[in-house]
Chains A and B, each alone.
Chain A
Amino acid sequence: MTATAVPLLLVDSVWKSFDEHPVLRGIDMRVDLHEVVVLIGASGSGKSTLLRCVNGLEQVDAGRIVLDGDIDVTAPSADLDEVRRRVGIVFQSYNLFPHMTVLDNVTLAPRKVSSVDRAAARDEAMVLLERFGLGAKAGEYPDRLSGGQAQRVAIVRALAMQPELMLFDEITSALDPLLVGEVLDAVRELKKGGLTIVMATHEMGFAREVADRVCFLHDGVVLEQGPPEEMFGNPERPQTQDFLARILA
C-alpha cells in the first residue's frame, strides 16, 4: 500500500458517546485516494457511527476528521453542506424519497444543490442508471422496486453528486440474500472506476475480494488492520480471530 502525503480522509483519535455509552473511543484511521477500506466488526463496534461522523451526520465529542487535508469536518464552523457534496453515503435502509420517481430521486440533489439544469441532470442520471442496469426503472416510484433495485438507486443517487469519497453503511444487510449479489456488483463497478470507498459490511467473502485494506473495529477502536489476505488468513489479535471464527462459522 503506497500512502500519499495527504490522505483523502484522516480520522484522528475521535471519541463519540451516546448519553453515557461510549461508541467510538479514540479511533484513528486514514484512507488514501482510490483505496477501498472495509470496516468489519460486531454490531455496536462503532462502524455506522464512524461513517456518520465522517459525513457530519453525527457530531464528534473529541478528535478531528479531516477531508483532503483541508476541510475539518469536526470544526464547529465546518460547512457541512460542502462536506456532504464531497462525501456520499448510502444507508442500510435505502431511504429513497417515496413521493418521487427514481429519476427525480437521482436528480434532486444535482439540480437543487449543484444547480445543474434539469435536462443536463436528467441526461447524467440516465447514464448512471443505465450503467447500473436501472434505465428501465427511471419512471417508477420506489414502492415498485425490489430491495436490490432500491439500494442500487440509492447508490446512483449518491453517485450523481460526484463524490470523491463514498461511504457504504451495511448496504446489503436489509436485503433478501438473493438480491445481495446485484448490489455488490454495483460496488465492484465503482471500485473498477477508481472511487475511494469506505464500507461497513458483514459480507466477509466480498470484503476479502474487494478490499485493499480491512479494518477490524472492536469497542470503538481499530484493533487490527491490514490487507485482506492477512486479516482473514492470519489475524494476530485473539478478538479478531474470535470474531472471524464466529461470523464465518
Chain B
Amino acid sequence: MGDPQTMTAPAPGTPVAYRDPGRQALERRVARRNALVGMASLVVFVVAVSVLVSRTPGWPVVQETFFSAEQFTESLPGLLEAFLLNIKIFLIAEPVILVFSLLIALTRTLRAPIFLPLRVVATIYVDVFRGVPTILVIFLLGFGVPALRLQGVPNDPVFWGTVALILSYSAYVAEVFRAGIGSVHPSQRMAARSLGLSSWQTNRYVVLPQAVRNVVPPLLNDFISLQKDTALVSVLGPIEILRQAQIDASSTFNYTPYVAAAAIFIALTIPMTRFADWVQGRMARRQRAGGVA
C-alpha cells in the first residue's frame, strides 16, 4: 500500500480492490472513538453501581457475611479439592450422555414396524425423564436403589447420582439430536437413497453428520448446564463443592464459602460459554448449504 497522500484512484475498470485512503482513515478514527466511548460508559456504570450498593444501610453486614476476604481464602483450597468430584462426575456423565442420547434419538426415527417396541420404549423414556425434576431422579435412585439391598449393586451415592444425571440429561439431549435429524432437509435423504444407499447408510454418512453439526451449539448449552447440576448430587451426601461450602458455612456462620463456590463454577462455565459462542459464530459463517432447498 502506497502513501495515502500520493495514492490516487486507479482508472475505472482496473481489476484491483481500491479503497479511498482518506475514507479509511476516517473509519479508523470513528472506530477508535467508539471504543473509547464504550470503555468510559462501562467505567461510569461500574463506579455508579459500586457507590450505590456500598451506600445501602445493610452493606457492611452483607460484606462481612458474604464477601469476607478472610473467609474466602480460608475456604478456597477445600472447595477446589471438593470441586474435583464435580469435575469427575461431569467428565464421566458427558460422554455417556452423548452416546446414549444419540441411540435414543436414532431409535425414535426408526420406521420399520419390527422396531415398534423399541420406539415405544424410547418415547416413554424421554417423556418420563424430561417430566421429572432432576433432583427427584437423584433422590429416587440415590436412596431407593441402595435400599433394595441388591447383591452386586453399588451403594456409592456418587455412582447413583451420576446415573441419575445421565438418565435425566440423556432425555433432553436425545431431543436435541432428534431436532437435529429433523433439521436435515428431506431432499438430502432422497438424494442419498436415489444413489442406492440403504436407510442405515443414509443416516450414517449423510443425515447424522449434518444433524450433529446443526446441534453443536444447543449441545454445548446442555453441557454447561450439566456442569452446574453436578452440585445436585450433594443431596445424597458426598462431599462435592456445594456440600463442602455448606460445611464451611455452618461451622463459621459465614456465607462467603457459597460465594466462593459460585465463583469456582463461573470460572469453569464462562470459558465453556465463550467457546459455545465461538463455535456458533463459526458455524453461522460456514453454514451456506450446498443444495438449495
Contact = CB atoms under 8 A, between A and B. Distances in A.
A109 B198 CA distance: 10
Contacts of A158: 194-195
Contacts of B201: 112-113
B290 A109 contact: no
A93 B293 CA distance: 7
Given A97-B290, A99-B213, A141-B290, A91 B191 contact: yes
A95 B210 contact: no
A95 B195 contact: no
Interface in B170-221: 187-188, 190-198, 201, 205-206, 209-210, 213
A30 to B, nearest CB: 22
B60 to A, nearest CB: 59
A142 B197 contact: no
Tell me whether chain B's interface is mostly helix, strand or loop, or mixed: helix
Contacts of B193: 57, 80, 84
Contacts of B190: 57, 91, 95
A130 interface: no
A145 B290 contact: yes
Contacts of A113: 195-198, 201
Given A91-B187, A143-B289, A150-B290, A108 B195 contact: yes
Contacts of B195: 84, 88, 108-109, 113, 157-158, 161
Interface residues of B, number: 23
A143 B191 contact: no
Contact of A97 (B194, B206, B288, B292): B206
Contacts of A81: 196-198
A98 B187 CA distance: 12
Interface in A142-156: 142-143, 145, 150
Contacts of A161: 195-196
A168 interface: no
A98 B198 CA distance: 19
B194 A98 contact: no
A95 B190 CA distance: 9
B205 A84 contact: no
A55 B188 CA distance: 16
A94 interface: yes
Contacts of A91: 187, 190-191
Given A95-B190, A97-B191, A141-B290, A109 B213 contact: no
A171 B27 CA distance: 46
A113 B187 CA distance: 19
Contact of B188 (A95, A108, A141, A157): A95
A234 to B, nearest CB: 37
B13 interface: no
Contacts of B196: 81-82, 84-85, 109, 113-114, 161
Contacts of B10: none
Given A93-B187, A97-B191, A112 B290 contact: no
B290 A55 contact: no
B58 interface: no
A89 interface: yes
Contacts of B291: 93-96, 98, 142, 150
B9 to A, nearest CB: 30
A140 B266 CA distance: 41
A247 B220 CA distance: 53
Contacts of A99: 209-210, 213
A106 to B, nearest CB: 10
Contacts of B288: 98, 143
Contacts of B197: 81, 108-109, 112-113
A95 B196 CA distance: 15
A174 interface: yes
Contacts of B290: 94, 96-98, 141-143, 145, 150
Interface in B240-271: none
A105 B256 CA distance: 58
6 contacts: A85-B196, A108-B195, A109-B196, A113-B196, A142-B289, A158-B195
Given A97-B192, A99-B209, A143-B290, 5 more contacts: A57-B193, A91-B187, A95-B188, A98-B289, A108-B195
